[in-house]
Amino acid sequence: MTLRSTVKPFGLLALVEAGGIDAFDLSPPELALMASSHSGEDLHVRTLQAIYRRAGLSQGMLACGAENAPLDALTAARLARDGEKPGPVRHNCSGQHTSFILLSRLKDWPPDTYWQPDHPSQVAYRSAVARAFGTRPDRLVAAIDACGIQTFAFPLREVARAYALLADPASVPTGDPRSALAGALLRIRDAMLANPEMVAGSRERLDTSLMKSAPGIVISKGGAEGLRGIAVLPGGRPSGVSAGPSGMAVKIEDGDGAGRAGWAAAVEALRQAGVIEGQAVRMLSRYHRPSANDSHGRLAAEAVASFDLAPVGELFA
């Protein structure tokens, strides 16, 4: 399946490895936003605008479009009420696109065509993703994402493997080529852990809610068409069991247009794996068993995930 937005933490490696954090004085919230599918809320827009001001760039360079922006329903309603047309800065991929614009500025590449497949920033992007997934750029299976840049297809197992790498980049053996990514990937991981509202949004976003329910333990990053990658950091679980880093990938075959199946499956998988329990599961109840009401407000149905996880012993080998 194509990675869609689950690729964003790995694509951001291109800017971080090039020295973008120091060059543009990027803060952890800003870094998290560039690995995000944000909701287009004002806090996201203000954060991006600060980056553009500091870098001496124009947000008019964004070529991600404005379709379905902003994702946050309250923000969208306010903009409609005020007669304000949302621009690309409110698109959920504007953070990722900003990383390409910054990389172009840093390397003195033409920024206005950053989104085209043969642009040097996209060549660097493909290289970063290939290295994170343990392959070569020429072996990537590519498609076009809705925001206009390339996305790449991998088996579900490889998505989980990449998120296990994100969970603890330093655990990769020295002889593994992915070990060279450890420093940059740790910066991205820690920024996401510390800023869950930047990874998704402040309201009704599962990625943010999962990360808040298990602070310092889980990174969740959804993608379109029912895909979600989850990194589980090493350390003690709520049950007291000590475990190493692991990764999960959840894919709903029909694209999960209503969101319910992916929500329920992701929360249930984490519950069965012992990553969340008790109060954390209760905090996530609206995602764990999402409901639908009838026209009178009565409960009409619930989506219930019914499966048993089978341990696969996923390692870095």
- Supply 69's token pair: 């922006």
Element (H, E) at 98: helix 94-107
Q: Say if pTM beats, i.e. exceeds, 0.85.
A: yes
Q: How far, in Å, CA of 50 to CA of 47, rounded?
A: 5
What's the N-to-C CA distance of the chain in angstroms?
22
pLDDT of 243 reads 82
* 317 assigned to some structural domain: no
- Count Cα neighbours of 254 within 13 Å in the Cβ-side half-sphere: 6
221 three-class SS: strand
Domain span including residue 114: 4-286
Looking at the chain, the number of H-run helices and the number of E-run strands are: 15, 9
Residue 125 located in a structural domain: yes
- The stretches in the chain having pLDDT less than 50 are 314-317
- Condensed to tens digits (0 to 9), the pLDDT of residues 169-194 reads 999 998 999 999 999 999 999 999 99
Task: Please check whether residue 146 lies inside any domain of the structure.
Answer: yes
168: tokens are: 């603890």
Q: Would residue 301 count as lying in a domain? A: no
Is 206 within the bounds of a domain?
yes
In a domain, 292, yes or no: no
Can you give the pLDDT at residue 235?
Answer: 84
d(CA 3, CA 9): 11
**pLDDT value at position 315?**
40
Q: Report the run of H or E that residue 227 belongs to, with start and end.
A: strand 227-232
Residue at 306 is within a domain: no
Question: What's the number of domains the chain is made of?
Answer: 1
User: Residue 106 domain-assigned?
Assistant: yes
